[in-house]
Amino acid sequence: MRSVFPFAAAWVSACLLLVAASAVRLFLDPVLGDRAPYLIFTFAVFVVGMRYGSLPGLFTVAVSTIAGLWMFIPPRLSFASISMDEWANIVAYVATCSAILLFCNRYRRARDAEVSSLAESSAATSRLQESQQRLAGIVDSALDAIVTFNADQKVILFNPAAETMFGYSTSDVCGRSLSRLLPERSRVEDNGHVQRFRQEGSTNCRINSLEGIYGRRSSGEEFPLEASISHVTIECEQLTTVILRDITERKLNEEAQALLVREVDHRAKNALAVAQALVGLSRGETIKDYTEAVTGRLASLARAHSLLSQSRWKGAALSDIIQGELGACLAAHQFVFCGPALSLAKTAVQPFSLVLHELAANAMKHGAALARTGLVNVSWSVVEDQLELAWVETGGPEVASLKQPGVGLNLLRRTVENQLDGKLSLEWTSQGLNAQLAIPPSRYSVESSIGSHGR
């Protein structure tokens, strides 16, 4: 429907122009008489040809020829007795109209071509603007810093991520030397990287494999970078773009990982040395006794290691150590403990766990744990910066003091004095063993919350 309407409008407009031309010619008839019968129709043909094209123009020529012949060439209102001069006028009119339509047709084609060219140019400009906007959006939203500079190493592009990374605004950097983004100590070397890249003729490459690529923030702080570089020539101007990523956090993580590996290696060697020593010091009248002694001490070492791993080798809460060691050897109703919230240093966790294990193992073999009503009471407090721990056994069977301390008690004393830098006193009562331990402040710390722990 939309395509039919303009077509019909062209023919209707041609008819209206013919009617208007006829009316004007009739109006001028007293002045013109029989002369120039087609003068006004010529303008109608020109208007129709320019506005609507060749077909409506030819229709206007044909109808106007007949109308002029009928209305303005004698004898009027008749087609009879037309002289040769009048036929010459008719032929001249048709030829003139044909020339007019040819001109109109060429003009319309030239105009349409120009309009089409302008439309294509406008569309191309619009697409270019959209492409530039997309590119600008990508550059502005990139998480990595993007810096472009020319052959003179003057910065011409500095995206928001670069502003955040270096601490400079775009206006502070654009038009200025790239060197202000580089540490003074490495400017010559970094410029050499760029020059060699251009001379090699490569279009892009990564330079993070090179050691010592650093940037310099506005504050003067230097930081490690990962970089990729690309090169392009636009309108005889050489442009180099560098995409930069701050790898400070990665470097710190790598260093922390390397430190952790060294720490784990050190801890593993220490654990193996301690385990070897425990195996060598363990004794037993039978293979079963020996196996139980070795297994118990190694299990204590493993529990201490687990607590240290949970705290990332920062130490362990004293209450957790006591709960773990006593809970592994004694029944839940056979021990209670209470005291302020304290943490042992990482170097004290394993020896202190071994001390508690030896005391609990002794209670099982010779002390309060032999009786169902026996109870081990562990309490601790800080007295004049010393951690004092009391081990009291009650309710056990009547026992006599050992004439010759066993391997466990000897190991206990050596551990307290040599590894904890502390003091140990032992007292045998009729109901079991009482022990007093004193640990220096370098082996523990007070936790933020103070409270009592007990069962």
Residues 98, 168: one domain? no
Domain total in the chain: 3
Question: Please, what is the average pLDDT of the chain?
Answer: 82
- Where helices occur in 330-452 by DSSP H, the ranges are 346-366, 407-414
**Phi, psi for 151 (deg, rounded to 5):** -65, -25
Residue with tokens 């790598």: 254
The answer as to whether 276 is a domain residue is no
Last residue of a domain, one of 246, 273, 304: 246
Residues 96, 169: one domain? no
Residue 389: the pLDDT is 95
Residues 157, 239: one domain? yes
The answer as to whether 241 is a domain residue is yes
Residue 344: the pLDDT is 93
Residues 218, 320: one domain? no
- The answer to whether the CB of 455 falls within 8 A of the CB of 414 is no
* Cα 73 to Cα 83: distance, rounded to the nearest angstrom: 10
Residue 89, CB-side half-sphere exposure with 13 Å CA sphere: 19
CATH number where 152 lies: 3.30.450.20
CATH number where 336 lies: 3.30.565.10
The answer as to whether 455 is a domain residue is no
Residue 366: the pLDDT is 82
Which residues constitute the domain of residue 350?
282-446
pLDDT band at 280 (very low <50, low <70, confident <90, very high): low
Q: Please name the amino acid found at residue 315.
A: G
Please state whether 98 falls in left (phi above 0), alpha (psi between -120 and 50) or beta. Answer: alpha
Lowest pLDDT segment from 181-190, 323-332, 350-359, 446-455: 446-455
Residue 225, CB-side half-sphere exposure with 13 Å CA sphere: 27
Residues 378, 239: one domain? no
Q: The whole model's pTM is what?
A: 0.49
The answer as to whether 131 is a domain residue is no
Comparison of pLDDT for 245 and 269, the residue scoring more: 245
pLDDT band at 161 (very low <50, low <70, confident <90, very high): very high
* Cα 377 to Cα 71: distance, rounded to the nearest angstrom: 138
Lowest pLDDT segment from 165-174, 238-247, 320-329, 401-410: 401-410
Lowest pLDDT segment from 139-153, 203-217, 260-274: 203-217
Q: Where are the beta strands (DSSP E) in 311-410?
A: 316-317, 335-338, 342-344, 375-383, 386-394
